[in-house]
Structure 1
Amino acid sequence: MFPQARQVGQYLAAYSQRYIPRDMLRLGHRVVKTERLTGSDVNCKWKVSWVKGSRQNTTQETTPQTKIESEDFDFLVVASGYFARPYLPVLPGLEHFTGQAIHSSTLEKGRAGLSTIAETTPQGNTVVIGGSMSGVEAASALALRESSLRLSTYLGSGSPQKNNKVYHVHSRPFWTLPTYLPCETSEETVPFLPLDLAMYDLSRRPPGPVEYTLGPLSEEKIAKTNDYFRSLLGAEYERYGHPHQQSPLAKADPQPEWVAIGNDYAEFVRSGGIKTVMGRATSIHPQSDTRIASMKIETAEGSQILEDVTSIVMATGFTPFDSLSFLPDDVLSSLEYNTSDPFLPLILDKGGTLRSEIPDLGFVGFYRGPYWGVMEMQAKFLGKEWAAEDNTPGEGDAKNKSERELLRILRQPSVDVRRAQFPMGDYVGLMETFSKDLQIERTLSSGDDSRTGPVIPARYAHGQEDVEARRTLDSLRAISCQDHSTAAQAAASLAVFRALHGTWRYTQTSATGERVGSGTVAFIPRYPSNEIHDREYVLETRQDEVSAGFQVSSVGRAVFCLSEAGTRESNPGIQVYDVTTDRDREESRLAYRLHLTPFYREEGVGEYVINAERVHANAAEEPTARGIRYTFHFQGVSITEWECVQVGDRTSENNTNSESQSELLWQNIYKR
């Protein structure tokens, strides 16, 4: 549902094999120059020159001995994107720091780099700089690394680890969105849907034509967006998933808040695994051991010093300029090329697709915003434009000029000109505008209401005979349906699993309501111990007992695992293992699975409930007369309280043939 980078690569390789003749691709070639040919006797408009070379030496300079090849073409598409070169800010003192200092794009985020980092880097704190997508991702990955390192000491696999901190330094408030969001579809049910299906639903647009919006944001629009996230995510989640929303800096400069995606970030902040600092890193001061330094941060309240820093991760984005270096200077001038603004280096028409004065040059994916659907539309639009006999500027020229002027205004962000994180981020409006220009009729999502359902590329396929589009739409309907489908199970399982992270206090009561015990449970994340699982917690239970007037504590351990796509033995969901641990190894045995039901509305605004039944791994081990059930109470995307109860069957004393009825045996109630 949310593929990793390697899975996207596999998809693109399969797409290429299916649709693109091999002789059309020339990989491992670096374009060094392009020339736009002009004149009445010129048939081809572009001469493209390149050198052969591996992917590793794409920035290598050409020499007189370098063999340059060239060929002429009718049209040129620039599809090299924004992420040409990692951006590394200049920080005084960084040149003397010999600890780890890397860009987030090179960060090893999995278990593979765990031992290497632990052996080569002295124990100390890590600072992640940057508050956008990669900042949240990097901080979460490093917090998981630290959590896994601390848990590994329980098995005697290394020396006791210092409680190293992960600081996340960001310059503005931002919202962190989990990958699944609650989506109200009726009065009774509230399913969890992938965030793009929930956010890019046509029903969220106001009545009337869906128009593409571009330009500065008003204070009213910013406030409306914040209110939407606040109502969607809930007040409990906002405390940790919306860092520094009350900062004086945010109040003094009401710029649009940014958005990042991360399932684990907010709960790591809650548990202390990530320490957020709103401000700007201004200098680094290495110690006598230059692998360790302090870092100075300027905040709205003054200077702050982060001590014992041994690793710095620059989650500071990319610059797009290398992606344009092969274009002629006169063409770049016509495109209003500006190297001082990496957000808007060019001023383009038609949703970032071309410039009408240079109709034989097109762009696909050269913008910042949601990509897949828009890139398909941009490619289709260029195909239509270039297939036409007359592709000179026409009726849309006035609209193009208006769009250009709005882009020029956005190049000057200030208190008065508030620029969104993604200047072309109106995904729904952009898709709808392209569909009108291309005369593609959007496929209905369900029923006959044309203004409902999410905007996805499959709804804008050419014709109804597209087998792949139909397959995708069928899959979409399965995701959205309110039943026990595999997709619904996967969504509910991830939503519950994510929200359990952290420590809970519980009380246990008997069938008569008498309090018989209390304690805490802590869900501590670590790298999955088996590749069939995507996420894993070590569950530590400490039960307080009264014995001879003294308070003592007993400890139990289990492992909760999540398989998002399922395994050969079971559908997607949560599996629980009993664990025995000694100094040398950990042994686990699958104890049971959780079978979850879709959400339903509870009394009270914004409150939802999901139930789960414990299904034993071995049916023979499951008692026939009693079972354990879980109930998770949600506000937005956070679990505010959950219950675990054991019930048994009892039969009416007056009629032994009557149906069995459920009887509560004991109940645990868990709260933060």
Structure 2
Amino acid sequence: MAKTVCIIGAGPAGLVAAKTLLHDAPGGDSFKVTVFEAQSRIGGLWPSSREDDGGLVHPTMIVNQSRHTMHFSDFSWSPDSAQFPRAWRIGDYLERYRQRYCNNANLRLGCRVIKADLVPPSADNSDHSWHVQTQSTDGGTEEHTFDYVLIASGFFGQPHIPAAAKDRNLDIPAVHSGQYRTLEGLLGDPKVKSGKILVVGGQLSGVEIAGTIASDISSAVNSPGPRRNDFIDQATGKSKFSVHHLTQRPTWVVPLMTPVNPAPPAPYFHPLDLGQQSLERRPPGPLKNTQGHIDVAAARRSHEVFRELLRTDQSMFSPLLAIPPDVEQQPFLAFSDTYMELVRAGNITISCGRLDSLSGSVATTSTSEHIEDIAAVVLATGFKAACSLSFLSEDIKNTLSLSPEDLNHTVALAFHNTHHPAVPNLGFVGFYRSPYWGAMEMQARFLTALWSAGGPSSSTLPPSITEALKSDDSIARSLALRGDPRASQFPMGDYAWLMQEFAKALDLDRIPHTVQMPHRSTGPESTGEMNILTTARYPARNIDAARMAEVQLSLSNMQATALECTRGRFVSRAIFRSLLGKWNLQRTHVSRHGEQPSGRFTGTAQFLLREGTAHGREEEFAKLKEESGDPGFEYLYVEEGEFVDDTKNLRFNATRRYIWRYVEQDDTLSVWFVKTDDDRTADYLFHNIELVEPDQDNGTGWPAKGGHMCIKDFYDVRYKFTFQSVNLQQWSLSYNVSGPKKGYTLNGQYTR
């Protein structure tokens, strides 16, 4: 008779647990699965559509790991999907996954588990069971009995609000970062307000939400249309709002695309996790855990890895972001394409410290700094997981060593947070901070194998699981890390090591790449072929042909991306990202027509970030919205300065504007003219920027070219983009214009 399993939560963890119990139980065993989900939809954190804004994740948020990491082994993304999907696309992926693999599960939406009691063995049942009580959205309750309970409700139980922000008399709105959607939703009517938006919290969510809000302000101020009037000071034309970020410590901030090799001035780029999960960069032999307690030597080694990757200590963006070479504190990491340049541009101001108090519209920090003129507060202060276990009895909570105020080690569980030996028919999937999808899938496989064999104390356990449990110290490690000031940011364990340990316990092999992979670099520093870890490299045993085809497609997609990266794909994206902000501009103008001036221009060029607009490309824009729902970003380019022609004794102020656009679908970077009667609206295409394969030995950067025919006058456009790892260090732009009406050459140099 099939054993019954109650799964609590229908997010990624709950769905992969249901699929694994239904399809991957060893030896032909079977489970009868019921999934209870308190929301009216599946997906957990992940919204089901662009319009689904009731959850904890903004529907249009860009994820910080690529689709090559955010997938399950036997369900691939389509090859033309965005490398970093929007959040609602993750929800769509999960719905398709459910339809493919979970139709035989009894899915109960809008049904919350309010109590789960462990029932001791009886005359009718020699094993423990569970008595589960649920409540539907209409208030009705039901009673159920299950053999097993699997908790997959995630670590984001409820927002953590620091004491300094609780029950305060505020004149301003204050929300948790998971609630932010729009500026108007945060501020109310922006026409009658101004000031700073204070973001509190400096790890992943703090950096991401500060970058998001600053980007939203930039877009509101620099986009065409009447909305901008609500956000600008009518007297100065400048933004009424800015972001002030209160962070406890400097954090390494990594963009979503990183160099395949950071050394050359013309690097190739790939999604950051294709670099993070490159096994050829690890020492030979079995992997060792790089997370947990971080001593000084390990901290310095980790800092050096980031310093080598980024080729900066971050001081060029702000002294408060600088990480000195002798730092002993363990490193912290965040991901953002916009945060650093928005800090450098002044859109984000940083203070270091903790929030000490909030009163009226003033915040006081632990360093006694007073931050005044606050228009709103956004708390990026994490989540508490304890409420996700509220249905368990106090005895079981004590057995799990529940610590409600510990946001990282809320419970202490065995074998990489899968179970507790004292409660053998209770399991966990994805119940830790920042779980990788591959690790969740491995947890589900481990529990399926464990329960199929009779539990952790069974004499029929496979030898590999018996050995894994014998040497496991997960509970002791979790308890030791509580309150440890040197605990790593993600103390559960690094992803590659976790995958190795689960695979060893499950006696699974990591399958090889199916093509010859490129090298990161050539010469003495070469580490050999890329060896990139993805979930698809650990397929389940004895899967059918259809599932294996999905595995192979995922593997093929990743391999194709790795190969395309070494041919220049994503360089345009890296250029576009790094243009954000202000550049110093020196340009010479040499006319071949004596009556026209020749001279030099000195000034600045600003790339002002905003959401993509349709003007000038209405048909293409509609197609982008329909196919991907993601028109991307663009820049309003504003050039201002003084032109001097000493020969003709001319001196005058000059300005020009363009729109710069990047489209990921075809990896194109383009420049557009603005309308003569509306200098924020694109008119028509000036030119596409076509990259030219560089000579990696010339040490000068990525060449590019473009062209434009203006009636009978031709613009021959040349660029050179010089990188220092992820960041543009400098770039140049030249025009050679020839024709019956025009004849001149421009040579411009852009530096920070």
State the TM-score, normalizing by the size of structure 1.
0.83
The aligned runs of 1:38-187 (5 Å cut-off) are 38-39=120-121, 41=123, 42=125, 45-54=128-137, 67-91=140-164, 95-109=168-182, 117-119=189-191, 122-151=193-222, 158=229, 160-161=232-233, 162-184=239-261
Residue of structure 2 aligned with 1:610, choices 696, 699, 702: 702
* d(CA) in 2 for partners of 1:337, 1:613: 61
Change (3 A) 1:369 1:603: farther
Residue of structure 2 aligned with 1:528, choices 612, 615, 639: 612
SS at match of 1:150: helix
Question: Where does the alignment leave 5 or more consecutive residues of structure 1 unmatched?
Answer: 58-65, 287-292, 650-663
Change (3 A) 1:581 1:154: farther
* d(CA) in 2 for partners of 1:200, 1:669: 37
Residue of structure 1 aligned with 2:670, choices 569, 575, 578: 575
Question: Match for 2:638: what amino acid?
Answer: E
Question: Where does the alignment leave 5 or more consecutive residues of structure 2 unmatched?
Answer: 1-82, 234-238, 459-465, 518-526, 593-597, 615-620, 625-630, 739-743
Matched, 1:638 2:727: yes
Match of 2:749 in 1: 669
Bigger mean CA offset, 375-384 vs 404-413: 404-413
* 1:164 CA drift (Å): 2.8
* d(CA) in 2 for partners of 1:124, 1:191: 41
The alignment's C-alpha RMSD in Å is: 3.4
Matched, 1:443 2:511: yes
SS at match of 1:26: strand
SS at match of 2:366: strand
* Contact 1:294-1:309 within 8 A present in 2 as well: yes
* Contact 1:444-1:450 within 8 A present in 2 as well: no
SS at match of 2:701: strand
Match of 1:652 in 2: none
Figure out how many residues of one structure are paired with residues of the other and give that number: 618
* Contact 2:419-2:427 within 8 A present in 1 as well: yes
* 1:72 CA drift (Å): 1.7
* 1:591 CA drift (Å): 2.4
* 1:666 CA drift (Å): 4.3
The aligned runs of 1:254-273 (5 Å cut-off) are 254-273=328-347
Residue of structure 1 aligned with 2:118, choices 36, 47, 65: 36
* 1:213 CA drift (Å): 4.8
Question: Match for 2:634: what amino acid?
Answer: E
* d(CA) in 2 for partners of 1:611, 1:109: 39
SS at match of 1:96: coil
Match of 1:208 in 2: 285
Change (3 A) 1:49 1:599: farther
SS at match of 1:560: strand
Question: Match for 2:176: what amino acid?
Answer: H
Matched, 1:479 2:557: no
Change (3 A) 1:217 1:177: same
* d(CA) in 1 for partners of 2:372, 2:187: 24
SS at match of 2:206: helix
* 1:340 CA drift (Å): 3.1
* d(CA) in 1 for partners of 2:400, 2:144: 24
* Contact 2:168-2:359 within 8 A present in 1 as well: no
* d(CA) in 2 for partners of 1:412, 1:450: 41
Aligned-pair identity in percent equals 30
Match of 1:494 in 2: 573
Question: Match for 1:428: what amino acid?
Answer: A
* 1:637 CA drift (Å): 0.7
* 1:583 CA drift (Å): 6.4
* Contact 1:282-1:297 within 8 A present in 2 as well: yes
Residues 592-613 of structure 1 deviation map (CA, whole Å, 9 limit, x = unaligned)? 2223356764566xxx722323
Change (3 A) 1:167 1:433: same
* d(CA) in 2 for partners of 1:504, 1:189: 20
Match of 1:63 in 2: none
* Contact 1:508-1:666 within 8 A present in 2 as well: yes
Change (3 A) 1:126 1:345: same
* d(CA) in 1 for partners of 2:447, 2:316: 45
Question: Match for 1:79: what amino acid?
Answer: A
Match of 1:289 in 2: none
* d(CA) in 2 for partners of 1:19, 1:615: 51
SS at match of 1:275: strand
Match of 2:312 in 1: 235
Residues 439-460 of structure 1 deviation map (CA, whole Å, 9 limit, x = unaligned)? 2211223449999422110111
Match of 1:309 in 2: 374
The aligned runs of 1:396-435 (5 Å cut-off) are 396-400=468-472, 402-414=473-485, 418-435=486-503
Change (3 A) 1:117 1:614: farther
* Contact 2:270-2:565 within 8 A present in 1 as well: no
Change (3 A) 1:467 1:310: same
Match of 1:461 in 2: 539
Residues 405-442 of structure 1 deviation map (CA, whole Å, 9 limit, x = unaligned)? 2222101213xxx1011111411111111111122211
Match of 2:66 in 1: none
Question: Match for 2:245: what amino acid?
Answer: H
The aligned runs of 1:553-564 (5 Å cut-off) are 553-564=653-664
State the TM-score, normalizing by the size of structure 2.
0.75
* d(CA) in 2 for partners of 1:185, 1:671: 20
SS at match of 2:356: strand
Residue of structure 2 aligned with 1:366, choices 420, 431, 445: 431
* d(CA) in 2 for partners of 1:623, 1:364: 66
Match of 2:390 in 1: 325
SS at match of 2:120: coil
Residues 538-579 of structure 1 deviation map (CA, whole Å, 9 limit, x = unaligned)? 001225212664632121111112222x2xxxx132222211
* d(CA) in 2 for partners of 1:439, 1:483: 33
Change (3 A) 1:599 1:259: farther
Residue of structure 1 aligned with 2:690, choices 595, 598, 615: 595
